[in-house]
Amino acid sequence: MKTIRKKIKVGISSCLLGEKVRYDGGHRLDRYLKDTLGRSVEWIGVCPEAGCGLPVPREVMHLVGMPQSPRLITVETNIDHTDRMLEWTEKKLDELGKARLSGFVFKSNSPSCGMRSIAVYGKDCFPAGTSPGIFAAALMRRFPALPAEGDDRLKDPRAREEFIERVFAFK
Ligand code: SF4
């Protein structure tokens, strides 16, 4: 009888899987992640911005305020979506906790999904520091031991190998 082995579940920013959820209605499909690594893991796609009810396409957002507790604000109309995002994120993290993920791949340079070094702008519109994106920060706070990496780093074969090892060790 054939043994069916369950794939390891790994979360991922869903635009990296080719889902058209970005602010401009596009995606950021990463063929290596989706097709090659996707043979070994089951991707659990998450788009925090579309998930919390923002439309596609939508206005560009950025982080504003204190780098320790930035706000997620639309660039042109200055609408604060932080509370909406945080409320949705808490429920989503409960769900992801039950799914027993073994890792997460974040889309870099996003005020929601970026894992590190997202510019936070002060009142004078100049960068006041950096922070992870709002969703990424909340996920890393809730699951501090979960292997996580940004798609930009995973273009480096050594970083990729190390991340895959961490995911399998975590499992
Ligand atoms: S980076 Fe995150 S919030 Fe932005 S489109 Fe991709 S999944 Fe959605």
95-120 average pLDDT score: 98
Q: Is the beta carbon of 17 within 6 A of some atom in ligand 1?
A: no
Whether 18 maps to a domain, the answer reads yes
Question: 16 with 107: CB under 8 angstroms?
Answer: yes
Q: Which atom of ligand 1 is nearest to the CA of 114?
A: 1
> In a mutational test of the pocket of ligand 1, which residue from 81, 88, 108, 113 has the highest number of ligand atoms less than 8 Å from its CB?
113
Band (pLDDT 50/70/90 cuts) for residue 4 is: low
Q: Which two tokens stand for residue 73?
A: 């604000």
pLDDT of residue 171: 87
- Rounded to the nearest 10°, the torsion over CA 8, 49, 16, 156 is -90
Whether 109 maps to a domain, the answer reads yes
Whether 125 maps to a domain, the answer reads no
Question: Whole-angstrom distance between the N-terminal and C-terminal Cα of the chain?
Answer: 25
- Quote the number of domains for the chain: 1
Q: Is the beta carbon of 107 within 6 A of some atom in ligand 1?
A: yes
Name beta bridge partners: 62: 73
Q: Which of 83, 101, 20, 91 is nearest to 55 (CA)?
A: 20
Q: Which atom of ligand 1 is nearest to the CA of 112?
A: 3
pLDDT in tens, 43-73: 999 999 999 999 999 999 999 999 999 999 9
User: What's the number of CA atoms in the CB half-sphere (13 Å) around residue 163?
Assistant: 21
Residue 3 has pLDDT above 80, yes or no: no
Q: Is the beta carbon of 89 within 6 A of some atom in ligand 1?
A: no
Q: How far apart are CA 133 and CA 41, in angstroms?
A: 25
Range of the domain at 48: 8-58+82-114+132-170
